[in-house]
Amino acid sequence: MWKVKFFLIILLCFVNCIRADDDGEICDHDQGFNCTDGSTIDCLDVCNGIKDCKDGSDEFLWNDITESPCRNQECPNDHVKCNYGACIPIEYHCDNYFNCADKSDEWKYYCNKHKENPEEFKSCESGDFIPKNEFCNGKIDCPRDGSDEWPNLCKLLPCPSNTHFRCKSGGCIPLTKKCNNIKDCHDNSDEKTCGNVIKNPVSTTPNQGCLVRRDRNYYIKNELENYNIIPGGRVPVNTRIIIKCSNNFFFPENNTEQRRICERNGRWDSPLPQCIKYCDARILNNSKSTTAQCSLRGSKVDCNKIVPRTVAKVSCADGYKMPEELGDSASYEMTCERDGKWSKRKDNCEPICGRYASDNASVAPWHVGVKTYLNQRCGGTIVSPSIVITALHCVQFEDDTALSVDKVVVIIDGNSVNVSDIFGGGDIDVALLKLSEILTLSKSIRPICITESVYIASSTKAFLHGWPKDTKKITEVFHKTELDVLPRRNCSAKLNGRYICVRPAYKLHRNETLCEGDSGSGITAESDGVNYIIGILSFKPARNDDCTNEPIVAVRFNQIPELQKTMISSDKEPLYEMENM
């Protein structure tokens, strides 16, 4: 039972050795005790657990337990200390009667013992147990009554002022938590006096204090005094600062503020941080025509988050080539600069047109199938990233004069692609199909080339890719037919210059034919290994035959309406506008 432990050491002492401190007794037995209100009481009534002075000053003044003559009193070994310092006989402790003037002899904090961990847990007045170290830590932890932060308890616990701050309510917090913009004392007293500290003037003497580097993207504040520091000067030793980045700038760690302390040697406790701006990463990934690889100081990095000094190496995707003005290098480099801007603009690559990607010429990457809801089949030709050219009669239906996009799909590399718009050629048998998506070009999907060259346009040898003759299946392999371009009169004496006349070339071993499903297919001519569109087949069988090897009319490509030509030439992948450029 002789194990009552208080936070103040109980020392052996003789009865009635009442001392204020080392330099004198608090009560002269001849004169009695002077209450602070002027009255006098008997010395035996001082620090006996009962307030005898009207103002309580013989135990503690009013409610202030720190104002007590008993604080440094030593108790005899059969007595225990009240929280404010008075001594009471040990048998009065936890006897359900109040014997201390602050009632601390009945505090559950002292009386209740935790069954498992009597040393580590202490009792709240409510009877709840909480870890001992949560008492008087500034934060209310007792769930029902907050008694762990009672000033009567906390104000008498030690709180070394060189390392700690005592909350007004008595709790004790590390000094580092004072004025950190966080309420560490539940009464917020740790954040209340921050602006009232005497302002240190900024030192003008060089080599004194710490230099605040000039950085346009900073905001710097004196932490304790809450005023702005103008970068470029020095601040005195021990100044605490808070650094924030201005709009759109960030710390690389992506926290909102950083703190520094100016140390005695005139250096910051750690180097001042840099505010950086990320470069727009989206431009690296906004075009089907390019691919990018990013590196920072020589190491490969993700292209999603671009910090300054990142270098992006932009190359063309499969099916695209560098624009002529960028020369014939395989790639170009863009560097993210300090201000978050790219060193140069991002250029898209251009589609490669008119070249077979392999020697297998059955795979014409520009040739597509055009299928209607009646399962009619035509051919078509990719002329730009989202436009296919075909014959108007392929997409015009007798029962419906309006061209309707939902009745047509385009078969590209084996896949169906929807059409979002159809632009008819008026009186000429040609139509542009605007696709519902921008095609991702590749080895097997490429546009045909377009040329103004009269020499190529008047070529007498031409080619046409069409559906296979022997199967109704949809396939990416087309049948290549060699054509002769004949004088117009071989088709009709009245045929005007907007058309050309073609016929499958005679072969010794096998005569080719053209069939109705070849309608709309492009007629192409080759020059230096590059294929150009020169016409669109307009097959309307004179008889009921499906196929023929007779001369057939085709629209001359350079005679399509100007409006359609403009649509084709302006159909480019949009160039993304870069921020701040």
The yes or no reply on residue 418 touching ligand NAG (CB under 6 A) is yes
Continuous segment of H or E residues that includes residue 152? helix 151-154
Which CB sits closer to ligand NAG, 40 or 181? 40
The yes or no reply on residue 238 touching ligand NAG (CB under 6 A) is no
The yes or no reply on residue 295 touching ligand NAG (CB under 6 A) is no
Distance (Å, rounded) from C-alpha 268 to C-alpha 508? 92
Distance (Å, rounded) from C-alpha 84 to C-alpha 76? 16
The residue from 43, 80, 156, 303 that contacts ligand NAG (CB under 6 A) is: 303
The residue from 11, 15, 17, 28 that contacts ligand NAG (CB under 6 A) is: 28
Binding segment (CB under 6 A) for ligand NAG, from list 200-208, 214-222, 377-385, 482-490: 482-490
The yes or no reply on residue 304 touching ligand NAG (CB under 6 A) is yes
Residues within window 344-403 making contact with ligand NAG, judged by CB under 6 A: 360, 362-363
Which residue has tokens 């709240």? 124
The yes or no reply on residue 438 touching ligand NAG (CB under 6 A) is no
Which residue has tokens 């069409």? 466
Site string for ligand NAG, 144-183 (x = CB under 6 A): ----------------------------------------
**Could you give the C-alpha distances from 384 to 361, 390, 405, 518, 571, in angstroms and in order?**
20, 13, 19, 21, 6
**Could you give the C-alpha distances from 151 to 51, 57, 107, 327, 380, in angstroms and in order?**
19, 18, 13, 80, 88
R_g (Cα) of the chain, nearest Å: 47
Which CB sits closer to ligand NAG, 170 or 379? 379
The residue from 176, 376, 436, 459 that contacts ligand NAG (CB under 6 A) is: 436
Which residue has tokens 């070009």? 441
Judge contact between 304 and 283, C-beta under 8 A.
no
CB of 479 to ligand NAG, least distance (A): 11
Binding segment (CB under 6 A) for ligand NAG, from list 146-154, 193-201, 424-432, 505-513: 505-513
The yes or no reply on residue 216 touching ligand NAG (CB under 6 A) is no
Distance (Å, rounded) from C-alpha 404 to C-alpha 408? 8
Characterize the bridge pairing of strands 514-515 and 499-504: unpaired
CB of 426 to ligand NAG, least distance (A): 27
The residue from 285, 492, 566, 569 that contacts ligand NAG (CB under 6 A) is: 285
Three-state SS for 316?
A: strand
The yes or no reply on residue 559 touching ligand NAG (CB under 6 A) is no
Burial class of residue 149, CB neighbours in 10 A (0-12, 13-18, 19+): buried
The yes or no reply on residue 510 touching ligand NAG (CB under 6 A) is yes
Which CB sits closer to ligand NAG, 57 or 189? 57
CB of 126 to ligand NAG, least distance (A): 39
Please give the size of the binding site for ligand NAG, defined by CB under 6 A. 24
Distance (Å, rounded) from C-alpha 579 to C-alpha 307? 15
Three-state SS for 314?
A: strand
Distance (Å, rounded) from C-alpha 492 to C-alpha 78? 133
Judge contact between 229 and 202, C-beta under 8 A.
yes
Contacts of 117 (CB under 8 A, 6+ apart): none
Here the tokens at position 563 are 């409006």
The residue from 226, 404, 490, 548 that contacts ligand NAG (CB under 6 A) is: 490
The yes or no reply on residue 477 touching ligand NAG (CB under 6 A) is yes
Whole-angstrom distance between the N-terminal and C-terminal Cα of the chain?
Answer: 82
CB of 254 to ligand NAG, least distance (A): 4
The yes or no reply on residue 511 touching ligand NAG (CB under 6 A) is yes
Distance (Å, rounded) from C-alpha 230 to C-alpha 429? 74
Which CB sits closer to ligand NAG, 143 or 487? 487
Distance (Å, rounded) from C-alpha 259 to C-alpha 243? 6
- Nearest one of 438, 382, 444 to 576, comparing CA atoms: 438
Site string for ligand NAG, 180-209 (x = CB under 6 A): ------------------------------
Contact positions vs ligand NAG (CB under 6 A): 28, 31, 34, 254, 278, 285, 303-305, 360, 362-363, 406, 418, 436, 477, 486-487, 489-490, 506, 509-511
